[in-house]
Amino acid sequence: MFKNLRICSNVYLLLKIGLDFRVKMFGCFCKCFLKVVLLPHNKIKNMTLDELNKILSRGEDLHHEFKKAGEKVSLSFYDTVVAFLNREGGTIVLGADDDGNITGIDPNAVEQMKKDMITALNNKDVINPPVNFPIYQLSENGKTVLCVKIPVSSQIHSHSGIIFDRENDSDIRIEDNARISELYFRKRSHFTENEIYPYLFLKDLDEKLFDKTRAFIRSINPAHPWLLAGNMDILRSCGFYQKDIHSGKEGLTLAAALVFGKDLTIQNIVPAYKFDILVRVKDLDRYDDKLTLRTNLIDTYTQAMDFFKTRAYLPDKFFLEGDQRKDLRELIFREIIANVIVHREYTSAYPTTIAIYCNRVEVSNPNKTLFRGVLSLDTFNPYAKNPNIRKFFSEFRWADEIGSGVKNVYKYLWVYAQSRPVFKEDDLFRTKIPLASAILGKEKAAAFMELVGLDKSRLNDEAISAIESLELAPEYMEIEDFDELFFKKGSCWSEKGSMLKKLRFQINIKLQFDDFKKGACWSEKGSMLFDKRTVTIFKLLLICLTSQHRDDILSILSFNSKDRFRELYLQPLRDEGFIKYTIKDKPKSVNQRYITTEKGRRFLGGFEL
């Protein structure tokens, strides 16, 4: 009898332990689900009112849509979500009219609206395939708005079974087969990571890389579902195993090979792929040290980061962010390396190259571009070029929110070296990271002001300090001869100014350097190099490095006619994006002031535009 009781007791304990284990596992699953799926939407990230106002000031276009939303989310919201996903991404502002005026959302309805959006975006009967975005909540003058930033997707999405595309500021319903085929072609052309290889199998991938993945994930999130998932489940959840609905082709993708593939597998699929890091501090023609990688992206990231920490000859500088001590070098080049990996066009024959010099780092990365030119922090519209690889890297916290890489490099580089990066998008995406500040300084600033005839005695200390702190392009850093500096910058201004039709920018390109040096003083040199209108443009841009009221500008420049000054200078400079209002939504405010934009500063400093 007692024996039977002991057996029953043991069975009971085993059942209880098993039940407790299932309860704990269910609890872990729920926590993980909330963290991975729901919490990103409820967590308000760092979107500022200044960013919101910049978006509203641009008006509705290919990448921006404003919608009134008093108490509920309209169905057209989801049309626009799908259109942005299918085109180039964009931002939707709920609580603003078509002209960009904030109308606000009923404060009592905000939380329910957010819940409704989260539910709908994760419901394939509404958005198919389902999606996840952060929702930003902002308030201005007592009025609340909700903003949703939508990345371009590698897949084709529909709202309630209907596909939408974006044209100008409109959501276009796509129903005919030709347009749908065009959309599929566009996706394939921009997202080669999704190319399916039917004869690529698990045996072609490296089992050890799945173990590495689980180890990285365990250190970040012990309850992550990948820890209990099989290799194929991980591949499917990352979008590395796909079925092309259009063709019926199914299998592992290029992204699967790049992330998890054996070296031989990667070389067979993309034989030209190469990732070079070169140190050119002493030997500028060849290199002092070199790392060449042709391996999977996990090891590429870790080995590249290790190189920058141990072999790149870059100083490590620390600073406190909140109460945490952080390594600026690691923060900056973590972003650079992650961006290079997640945005590279892997079918290109060009190598990825990171060259480290004594005063700068230059990056060249094969790219499939949607536009060409220098990225401006004020206006650039980020999008993921390999969204599934980016999503995979974000699980390790090696890549963050889309566009954060550019912003973080700007932020941390200024603390690290008091300099600004240059990002230029073309077939090769080029990045320049100056490692030391290059500013005019007192002597060069005084020469520059005299060169353009700007009377220093009419400026206050703040305005003079701003001119002295004007940042120069890296190529002008080491020029000590003032004549050489301004003559070379004159050629640069001439080249860039010729593209600014509204400014009618004129520099004497026939002037020889020997003749320029013969000038008795800087004002004489300036009259040889510039015409009168160009001199006034320079003066205005220098004065407005600190915000200035129009009347003060007119007084400093001794200009009498307000209307003519606005017509000849202020309006053209605003049209070219060289100056801007400080009060954007009230152009005629008596307190309105003008300030030189980032683009205007870059022009003065000789940077690429």
- Contact of 398 with 339, CB cutoff 8 Å: no
Amino acid letter for position 472: L
Q: Which domain holds residue 529?
A: 441-605
DSSP of 372-422, one letter per residue? -EE--TTT-----SSHHHHHHHHHTTSS-STTHHHHHHHHHHHHHHS---E
DSSP 8-state symbol, 502: G
> Is 294 among the domain residues?
yes
Percent of the chain with pLDDT over 70: 88
267: DSSP letter:
H
| pLDDT the model gives residue 78 | 94
What CATH number is associated with residue 148?
3.30.950.30
Percent of the chain with pLDDT over 90: 34
Amino acid identity of residue 349, one-letter, is: A
Shared domain check, 430 and 451: no
Q: What pLDDT does 326 receive?
A: 87
Phi-psi domain of 59 (left: phi exceeds 0; alpha: psi -120 through 50; beta: other) = left
Residue 12's pLDDT is: 44
pLDDT of residue 301: 97
Local confidence band at 218 (pLDDT 50, 70, 90 cut-offs): very high
Indicate which CATH number applies to the domain containing 390: 3.30.565.60
Q: Which amino acid is at 71?
A: E
Instruction: Answer yes or no: do 293 and 402 share one domain.
Output: yes
Map residue 32 onto helix, strand or coil: helix
0.85 surpassed by pTM: no
Tokens 């609580």 -> residue: 95
* Type of residue numbered 263: D
322 within a domain of the structure (yes/no)? yes
Residues 186 and 202 in one domain: no
Please tell me the distance from the alpha carbon of residue 569 to that of residue 554, in angstroms, as a whole number.
11
- Please report whether residue 6 resides in a domain: no
State whether 71 and 103 are in the same domain.
yes
Out of 241, 269, 297, a domain closes at 269
Q: Are 160 and 125 in contact (CB under 8 A)?
A: yes
Mean pLDDT computed over every residue of the chain: 83
Q: Does residue 38 form part of some domain?
A: no
Give me the mean pLDDT over the 322-351 stretch.
Answer: 90
Q: Which of 291, 289, 425 is nearest to 364 (CA)?
A: 425
In a shared domain, residues 176 and 200: no
Q: Encode pLDDT of 185-211 as tens digits.
A: 777 666 889 888 989 999 999 999 999
The Cα 31–Cα 28 span in angstroms is 5
The SS3 call for residue 488 is helix
Q: Does 456 lie in the same domain as 591?
A: yes
Greatest pairwise CA separation for the chain in angstroms: 118
Q: What amino acid is encoded at 248 in this protein?
A: G
> What percentage of the chain's residues is helix, strand, coil (to nearest 5)?
45, 20, 35
Render pLDDT for 549-578 as a digit per residue (tens, 0 to 9).
989 999 998 888 888 888 888 888 888 888
Which pLDDT score, from 0 to 100, does residue 370 have?
66
- In a shared domain, residues 519 and 569: yes
What pLDDT shows up at residue 497?
Answer: 65
Q: Check whether 242 has a pLDDT greater than 50.
A: yes
Tell me if 92 is assigned to some domain: yes
Residue with tokens 């049309």: 79
Residue 108 lies in a domain: yes
Q: Are the C-beta atoms of 45 and 134 separated by less than 8 Å?
A: yes
Residue 129: cis peptide before it, omega within 30 degrees of 0: yes
In a domain, 41, yes or no: no
Q: Are residues 322 and 458 in the same domain?
A: no
- Amino acid identity of residue 302, one-letter, is T
C-beta of residue 275 within 8 angstroms of C-beta of residue 302:
no
> Of 8-17, 116-125, 167-176, 229-238, where does mean pLDDT reach its minimum?
8-17
**pLDDT for position 381:** 67
Spatial distance between the Cα atoms of 568 and 504, rounded to a whole number of angstroms: 10
In this predicted model, what pLDDT tens digit does every residue of 48-74 receive, in sequence order? 888 888 889 889 999 899 998 878 888
> Do 279 and 420 belong together in one domain?
yes
Give the end of a domain, one of 269, 295, 324.
269
Instruction: Say how many residues make up the chain.
Output: 609
> Is 24 a member of any domain?
no
For residues 220 and 170, membership in a common domain is answered with: no
Relative to beta strand 593-596, strand 548-549 is antiparallel
324 and 202 assigned to the same domain: no
The total number of structural domains in the chain stands at: 4
Looking at 390, 417, 434, which one is the last position of a domain? 434
326/262 same-domain check: no
